[in-house]
């Protein structure tokens, strides 16, 4: 981070820093929502319409001679992490951090909408600040809300920061960009007992361990090698003391696939394996699939048009990326509305969800310029 004074900063970099200090979990983004509303209240009101939905915000700018509505979405929530960056504007909320770039996403959206409040285009514009992307999932219920449906756009765009790309790079592809995802929680209940009397107990250390090993064989032995899928168990909780046979065990993990067929197949195999564990270890088990996100599938004509526009304008360096196994609930918007998401290079050695991630803030004005110029061009075209 450069040692420039706060007063000389780009105003939307300053906004990002303010948002970075108030990270909040999904559907509890109260300070974040108020920050956005206060900012919008300071803009000229004659071309600005604002609605709230739960902890989200929708902002509409009527066009000068509208034929359609162009939508743009930014997510709002943070992650349950203790921040370990060197930043002087760290999180002031212990246990929470903007480690996935949502602070930057919001600052960029505010920069773009500010431009169009002062420089309206022909078409209507809708800016969506969506809560709970990290969980339990805000896109699907927001999409179904009356507040959104009555302002539903005809096309919709979004971005996500990408640590691996340099500033000035836009990475995108037509078709599938992000995977289908599902959380996975499995609870096993047996019978606890004294370590000296194992025959009088049903040991959940053994049951949970056997199941964890079996689950990691699903992809290699049940999914087409030419397809892509992941089953990861990231957390195991069993036992309380070294001389007590554990009566309960819990597995927590994630499933990611590039096809819904593979997602269905993996879930079916998990259910069969859990039934087998119940029989083998004389225990009871429950499965909770948690939050499920559909794939992010970029509309091919719109994405190709955007890529061609980037090549023609040379406003940013275009990279045609590969699909990723990350998950994003923006996919629910794209199921109903044609559009696309792209990666924005922020050039940092630490990955998404890392407590030390420090995205390069110079990507913020780059993204604002790309989006304002693209939307201006898009709104000038005939439908």
pLDDT digit string (tens) for 125-151? 999 999 999 999 999 999 999 999 999
User: Comparing C-alpha atoms, which of 374, 371, 321 is closest to residue 176?
Assistant: 321
pLDDT of 315: 97
Mean pLDDT of 291-319: 97
Q: What is the mean pLDDT of residues 261-269?
A: 97
Residue 202 DSSP symbol: B
Mean pLDDT of the chain: 96
Binning the chain into helix, strand and coil, the percentages to the nearest 5 are 35, 25, 40
363 touches 348 (CB < 8 A): no
> How confident is the model at residue 151, as a pLDDT?
98
Residue in this structure with the two tokens 């994405």, named with its chain if needed: 303
> Does 227 have pLDDT greater than 70?
yes
DSSP-H helix ranges across the chain: 11-20, 30-41, 102-118, 139-143, 146-149, 204-215, 218-222, 260-281, 300-313, 330-336, 363-380
Region 339-347 average pLDDT: 98
User: Does residue 361 carry a pLDDT above 70?
Assistant: yes
The pair of three-digit structure tokens given for residue 46, joined into one six-digit string = 């004659």
Task: Give the pLDDT score at 264.
Answer: 96
d(CA 272, CA 277) in angstroms, rounded, equals 9
- What's the CA gap between 195 and 247, in Å, rounded? 12
Give catalytic status of residue 124 as yes or no: no
Contact 328, 178 (CB under 8 A): yes
**What is the per-residue pLDDT for 8?**
77
What b/e string do you get for 150-159 counting C-beta neighbours within 10 Å, with b at 16 or more? ebebbbbbbb
Confidence of residue 1 (pLDDT cuts 50, 70, 90): very low
| Residues sharing a CB contact under 8 Å with residue 348, sequence separation 6 or more, in sequence order | 163, 357, 358, 359, 360
| Mean pLDDT of the region 280-290 | 97
With a cut of 90, say whether residue 6 has pLDDT above it.
no
Residue 291 in tokens: 């939050």
Average pLDDT over residues 288-307: 96
For residue 81, pLDDT over 50 is answered with yes
**Is 134 an active-site residue?**
yes
pLDDT tens by residue, 171-224: 999 999 999 999 999 999 999 999 999 999 999 999 999 999 999 999 999 999
Q: What is the largest CA-CA distance in the chain?
A: 81
* Residue tagged active-site, from 29, 83, 133, 134: 134
CB atoms near residue 27 (< 10 Å): 18
What pLDDT score was predicted for residue 280? 95
pLDDT mean over 28-51: 97
Q: Is the pLDDT of residue 345 over 70?
A: yes
Identify whether the C-beta of residue 355 lies closer than 8 Å to the C-beta of residue 83.
yes
From 29, 75, 123, 328, active-site residue: 75
Q: What is the rounded end-to-end Cα distance, in angstroms, of the chain?
A: 43
Q: In this predicted structure, what is the pLDDT of residue 7? A: 63
Neighbours of 108 (CB within 10 A): 27
pLDDT at position 4 is: 45
pLDDT score of 58 more than 90: yes
Q: Is residue 16 scored above 80 in pLDDT?
A: yes
Average pLDDT over residues 241-251: 97
């Amino acid at each position: 981070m450069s040692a420039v004074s706060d007063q000389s900063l780009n105003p939307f970099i300053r906004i990002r820093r303010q948002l970075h200090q108030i990270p909040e979990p999904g559907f509890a983004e109260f300070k974040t929502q108020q920050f956005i509303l206060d900012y919008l209240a300071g803009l000229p009101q004659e071309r600005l319409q604002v609605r709230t939905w739960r902890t989200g915000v929708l902002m509409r700018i009527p066009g000068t001679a509208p034929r359609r509505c162009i939508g743009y979405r930014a997510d709002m929530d943070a992650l349950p992490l203790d921040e370990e960056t060197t930043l002087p504007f760290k999180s002031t909320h212990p246990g929470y951090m903007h480690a996935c770039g949502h602070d930057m996403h919001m600052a960029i959206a505010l920069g773009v909408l500010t431009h169009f409040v002062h420089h309206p285009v022909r078409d209507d514009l809708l800016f969506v600040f969506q809560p709970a992307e990290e969980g339990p999932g805000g896109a699907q219920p927001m999409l179904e809300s009356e507040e959104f449906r009555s302002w539903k756009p005809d096309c919709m765009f979004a971005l996500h920061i990408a640590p691996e790309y340099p500033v000035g790079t836009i990475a995108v592809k037509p078709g599938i960009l992000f995977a289908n995802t599902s959380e996975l929680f499995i609870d096993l209940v047996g019978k606890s007992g004294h370590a000296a009397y194992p025959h009088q107990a049903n040991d959940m250390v053994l049951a949970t361990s056997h199941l964890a090993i079996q689950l990691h064989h699903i992809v290699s032995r049940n999914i087409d090698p030419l397809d892509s899928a992941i089953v990861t168990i990231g957390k195991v909780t069993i036992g309380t003391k070294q001389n007590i046979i554990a009566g309960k065990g819990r597995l927590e993990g994630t499933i990611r696939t590039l096809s819904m067929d593979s997602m269905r197949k993996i879930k079916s195999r998990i259910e069969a394996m859990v039934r087998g564990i119940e029989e083998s270890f004389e225990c009871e088990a429950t499965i909770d699939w948690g939050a499920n996100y559909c794939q992010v599938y970029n509309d091919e004509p719109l994405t190709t048009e955007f890529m061609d526009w980037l090549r023609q304008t040379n406003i940013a360096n275009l990279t045609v990326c590969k699909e990723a196994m990350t998950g994003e609930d923006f996919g629910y918007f794209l199921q109903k509305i044609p559009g696309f998401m792209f990666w924005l290079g922020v050039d940092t050695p630490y990955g998404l969800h890392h407590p030390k991630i420090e995205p390069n803030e110079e990507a913020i004005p780059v993204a604002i310029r790309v989006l304002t110029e693209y939307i201006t061009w898009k709104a000038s075209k005939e439908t």
